[in-house]
Amino acid sequence: MKKTVFTGAATALVTPFDKSGINFEVLEELIEFQINGGIDCILICGTTGEASTMPDSEHKEAIKFAVDKVNGRLPVIAGTGSNHTAHAIELSKYAQQAGADAILTVTPYYNKTTQEGLYEHFKAIAGSVDIPVILYNVPTRTVLNIDPDTLSKLAGIDNIVGIKECNLGQVGETAKLCGEDFAIYSGDDFQVLPMLAFGGKGVISVVANLIPGDMHQLVARFLDGDIKGSRELQLKILDLTKALFSVVNPIALKKAMRIKGFNVGNLRLPLTELDEENTKKLKAAMKEYGMI
């Protein structure tokens, strides 16, 4: 039986930057906010954390810092994906060495590949570590989909334990082919409830940066049989989620975090600051939610 890394809501944590690099004082503050808010798991160095702009030394430092500060209080997943298999293996080996509970590895982007190439890519990464591996399928960013048949083959590898899935249209087939041991996590805050209905174990969430407790409850209520209560929370976060995804993530999220009083710093190019019109919409959604 495969190990389930977590059940519930994980936060794809933002990375606070200052002029010298990562602001570790604020990163610790964010980690404590998440734990105190009731989140179930933390993802460090994901898309929301702007990992693609980090040199390896910074990327590794962020992973080690998060693992040390969480100190076993909940699972830490390290984002270690790359479109260069050898690079992904290097980062994944480091994450295991640093004490991460699992890695998250995205489909190769830009150079792309075939379905056979995907299988060999992920097989090589999984074979380089002993900790659980969660795949990340986000075709809107990578222009590459992991087909259910390929996922079924990958699920046969012992330490490939699940997927962060953003393609709702294929989740039913994936669940059927891969079985209950293979954990499916929603990668889209708009679609947590339908993913759970297909047997999903939870969500790796952007919105949870702001509302860790509510995202935890959205999943927990569903799994406890309170479908109505879970649906109410899914609908409650709708307008806030729309505002946070008005532009490419994490542009609006970092703005929201600053509005909330977290000194997360600026975005790294090529991301730019949120425009005035969308800032007004974001503030209105945050006010409606009751957080400002």
Which residues are the active-site residues?
A: 136, 164
Whether the CB-CB separation of 212 and 37 falls below 8 Å is answered with yes
Q: Are 145 and 184 in contact (CB under 8 A)?
A: no
- 119 is written with which tokens? 């299988």
Residue 136 has, within 13 A of its CA and on its CB side, a CA count of 28
In three-state secondary structure terms, 287 is helix
Rounded Cα gap, residues 164 and 202, in angstroms:
9
Side chain identity at 249, as an amino acid letter? N
Q: What is the residue whose two structure tokens read 């729309």?
A: 242
**Quick one: which of 50, 52, 81, 77 has its CA closest to 66?**
77
Tell me the C-alpha to C-alpha distance, in Å, between residue 199 and each of 25, 182, 229. Answer: 38, 10, 17
